[in-house]
Chain A
């Protein structure tokens, strides 16, 4: 043994290893201990499984006091599921689903608040009604797209019910990840329930003439403003004196900047005119650009499917957004949606446009549940007005469809669950949950008296969401939507950091063209042309412009 061997020998070998090398423990000992260890693993698995299952599966059902509006809505959902009307989609789904009692549905949901609905309410209620249990798989938004695809490629059948953004439908349908619902709809659904969808949302799950899901979340942007500030006599007088016109809720983007700057000049640092979620990837930049750009006459692609961003409309949009940033709360470019809500609820800004939970939080309704306690209590309840965003064409930002995974071993049970969950009475109760981020989308939601009783200004809130949907614009629904939107986000944040707007638009257009080429220009053109047929694809093609506006 040389020095090095001796050093290794001294340093590396323990008594146990020496003993093992000398053969003192017999092979039988080893196999016996190996068996014991394996057995322990098996035992620990079964011993732990109840804990694991309870952590993953649905919680105990949480029902509100039946005297409250939410409690009444929950009771109505329960009765519609158990007593009927017998031709209602909820009742039919429950009756048909009883044959699958004992099955378990794995449901993907956006991680966080969204997942509390199936955990605390709809999942346990469905179990009670049908005997079908559910396991909620919480996923961050990118994974809500990629994981179902990965599981489909693996053929695992891991998921049954999928929560998906409408813009993903073409890719997932073509890829065989989701299953069409038409046969199930014909068999089980009360067709009147389809007509209860607001026209902007009704067609979102339709692709190539088939229905690939049920729309389930009306993510319509709206303007929320401080009525007390706009009604302040001194401010009104000063505004009139300065601009020779009355201080009003802005209807154009130019007016929006002017009003925001005026309020900031008059009231900062106590209150600023506006606030936006402009942080990189937040994703307010892309939505705001898309709604303003189209309101300014911009189109996404020309007839040759080349990006048309580098245009006068693009420059006007970015310049106006920059001016709005300058008129806003300090740190505007660093805010995400939640930070903006915090500033708004603390009374630091006079106007914001964001998703519908803004209205429920402003009224202090959402904060009635401890799950949403990370949002501060509202200091502006009763002071908030609702309007369509300036420019008159708000963005429908994301939204969700409920779909069923094509590889599901419980396809029919999965379908019946989404029919039930999206049926008018059940979806209403789900949209009314204080912690849920599901927003009204059915005509019956907008008309609901129970919803209207949630907080004093709820009827106006609902009316504004409906009016916004009448003139609202959709995110592009086509393959590559993520790429196109990521480019917009990068473009905007680079402009906030000082890049010339036209230069940024040209860079973005080049990235869009590269994406289009990569996906196939002809195919993309066909997808884009399909998208342009949807109500809400352009300002000239809104629900209202098509004569389908919903009047409440």
Chain B
């Protein structure tokens, strides 16, 4: 930190011919940001504008040319029952995943907020799944659950004392349970880490005062802990929602979207029409629809996030 006394005017910069230097500075700052700006234009803005063009033309690897088709690409997506269903699956899986991860993450954070021997080691182990690629997580769970080689049914059979023949990857509702299981296993630590940070930031004297006043454990949790960490909860839920809504990797590895289209999420649907069927213009229209729907969620969540600051 520079040694500048607050409230004082910063030391003036001696310059000769200040107006000319100022002009030069103005140009120079553009020179400095130019590489970053060009990069953003090239890899972000240009594709975005290009995608708007693709929305209204035929851009299909199986149909030569790029004829103008108006809103046909949107119509095809909206009228596709698989698209609508995949949106529903996305909502169901996202809400289920995030809710379970929040509850589990909070419970684990409550336990880990207290000091005990080996706490550091346990926390280190708990957050390991965060560092694993979702593809690897999907593959690992598929290996555990897939018949006839996966051990899950065998172990369950040993526990229950009877043969278990569940098709974890192909049979409803077990395929959804398997997908939630894999996601919760990987992302609960994320909730846990954020909520633990929130819990450890609560001043101990608040709890001490509550204890002196004879407040019960449940009331303490409900009226002190939750209000204190609610901004952190909102932050964690926002981050996880935005990530969970894009669920693709585990679906791709574990169920391949099947059986039928039963486990298609929006991302998997868009991947399939874009990169398995090569209907790029339809995939682009679907992506824009998905983006707009996601934006509505983002705007809502960000407003909720910023509300305390505004207040």
Residues of A that sit less than 8 Å from B by CB: 1, 6, 9-10, 13-15, 18-19, 22-23, 27, 142-143, 145-146, 149, 171, 174-175, 279-282, 329-331, 333-334, 339, 342-343, 348, 479-480, 482-483, 486, 489-491, 493-494, 496-497, 499, 504, 518-520
Whether A490 contacts B148 by the Cβ 8 Å rule is: no
* A519 contacts B63, C-beta separation under 8 Å: yes
Give the residue among B146, B275, B276 with the most A Cβ atoms within 10 A: B276
B6 near A: Cβ within 8 Å?
yes
**Inside 8 A of B272's CB, which chain A residues have their CB?**
486
Q: Is the CB of B61 within 8 A of A334?
A: no
**B172:A282 contact, CB within 8 angstroms:** no
B199 interface residue per 8 A CB criterion: no
Known: A330-B147, A479-B62. A280 touches B259 (CB 8 A): yes
**CB-contact partner of B260 in A171, A279, A491, under 8 A:** A491
Are B2 and A18 neighbours in the complex by a CB distance under 8 Å? Answer: yes
B231 at the interface (CB under 8 A from A): no
**Contact assessment for A482 and B277 in the assembled complex, using a CB-CB cutoff below 8 Å:** yes
- Of all chain A residues, the one with the shortest Cβ separation from B59 is A153
- Using CB atoms, name the residue of chain A closest to B272: A486
Contact of A146 with B256 at beta-carbon distance under 8 Å, contacts A331-B148, A497-B171 already known: no
Cross-chain contact of A342 among B60, B149, B259 (Cβ < 8 A): B149
A281 in contact with B257 given A482-B276, A497-B170 (CB within 8 Å): yes
19 further A-B contacts with Cβ under 8 Å, apart from A9-B6, A334-B167, are A18-B4, A22-B2, A142-B275, A145-B61, A145-B278, A280-B170, A281-B258, A282-B256, A329-B148, A331-B148, A334-B146, A334-B169, A483-B277, A486-B277, A491-B260, A494-B260, A494-B262, A497-B171, A497-B262
Select from chain A the residue with minimum beta-carbon distance to B276.
A142
Nearest CB on B from A126, distance (A): 30
- In the complex the two chains form, is B276's CB within 8 Å of A497's CB? no
Q: How far is the CA of A496 from the CA of B62 in the complex (A)?
A: 31
**A146 x B260 contact (CB < 8 A):** no
6 interchain residue pairs of minimum CB distance: A331-B147, A280-B258, A494-B260, A18-B2, A497-B259, A280-B256
Chain B residue contacts of A13, Cβ below 8 A = 1-2
Residue of A whose beta carbon sits closest to that of B278: A146
B96 at the interface (CB under 8 A from A): no
Given contacts A330-B165, A486-B276, A494-B259, contact A6 B62 (CB under 8 A): no
Q: Is the CB of A496 within 8 A of B146?
A: no
Q: Which residues of A contact B220 (CB under 8 A)?
A: none
Q: Interface digits, B3-21 against A, CB 8 Å rule (1 contact, 0 not)?
A: 0101100010100000000
Nearest chain A CB to B60 CB, angstrom units: 8
Inter-chain contact count A-B, CB under 8 Å? 112
In contact, B61 and A1 (Cβ under 8 angstroms): no
Known: A18-B1, A280-B255, A330-B147. A1 touches B13 (CB 8 A): no
Q: Does B203 contact A (CB under 8 A)?
A: no
By a beta-carbon cutoff of 8 Å, the part of chain B in contact with chain A is 1-2, 4, 6-7, 11, 13, 28, 60-64, 76, 146-149, 165, 167, 169-172, 255-262, 272, 275-279
List residues of chain A with CB within 8 A of the CB of B149. Answer: 331, 339, 342
Cα distance A489–B147 when bound, in Å? 20
Q: Say yes or no: A330 contacts B259, CB within 8 Å.
A: no
Describe A's contact surface by its main secondary structure: helix
A503 to B11, CA, bound (A): 81
Is the pair A146, B171 in contact by a Cβ cutoff of 8 Å?
A: no
> Which A residues lie within 8 Å of B279 (CB)?
518
Please name all residues of chain B whose beta carbon is closer than 8 Å to the beta carbon of A339 when the two chains form the complex. Answer: 146, 149
Q: Which residues of A contact B147 (CB under 8 A)?
A: 330-331, 334
Q: How far is the CA of A216 from the CA of B172 in the complex (A)?
A: 41
**Alpha-carbon gap, A497 to B255, bound state (A):** 12
Q: Which residues of B contact A22 (CB under 8 A)?
A: 2, 11, 13
Q: Which of chain A's residues has its CB closest to B258's CB?
A: A280
In the complex, the answer to whether B61 meets A343 with C-beta atoms within 8 Å is: no
Q: Check if B1 sits within 8 Å of A175, measured CB to CB.
A: no
The answer for the CA separation of A339 and B149 in the assembled complex, in Å, is: 9
Question: Out of B6, B167, B255, B258, which one reaches A1, CB within 8 Å?
Answer: B6
Q: Which A residues lie within 8 Å of B146 (CB)?
A: 331, 334, 339
Q: How far is the CB of B53 from chain A (nearest CB, A)?
A: 13
- A343 CB to nearest chain B CB (Å): 7
Verify B61–A175 contact, CB threshold 8 A.
yes
Least Cβ–Cβ distance between A363 and chain B, in angstroms = 23
- Which residues in A have their C-beta under 8 angstroms from that of B275? 142-143, 146
- Residues on the A chain within 8 Å of B76, using CB: 518
Q: Which of A6, A175, A330, A494 contacts B148, CB < 8 Å?
A: A330
Q: Which residues of B contact A10 (CB under 8 A)?
A: 1
A497–B2 touching, CB < 8 Å: no
With contacts A10-B1, A482-B278 known, is A493 near B64, CB below 8 A?
no
Complex: chain B residue closest to A478, CB-CB: B62
B residues less than 8 Å from A493 (CB atoms): 170, 258-260
Can you give 25 contacting A-B residue pairs, CB < 8 Å? A1-B6, A10-B1, A18-B1, A145-B61, A149-B61, A171-B61, A279-B258, A280-B257, A280-B258, A282-B256, A329-B148, A330-B147, A333-B170, A333-B259, A334-B169, A339-B149, A482-B277, A486-B277, A489-B258, A490-B257, A490-B260, A493-B258, A494-B258, A494-B259, A494-B261
Residue of A at shortest CB range from B14?
A23
Q: Chain A residues with Cβ under 8 A from B169's Cβ?
A: 279, 334
Q: Which residues of A contact B277 (CB under 8 A)?
A: 482-483, 486
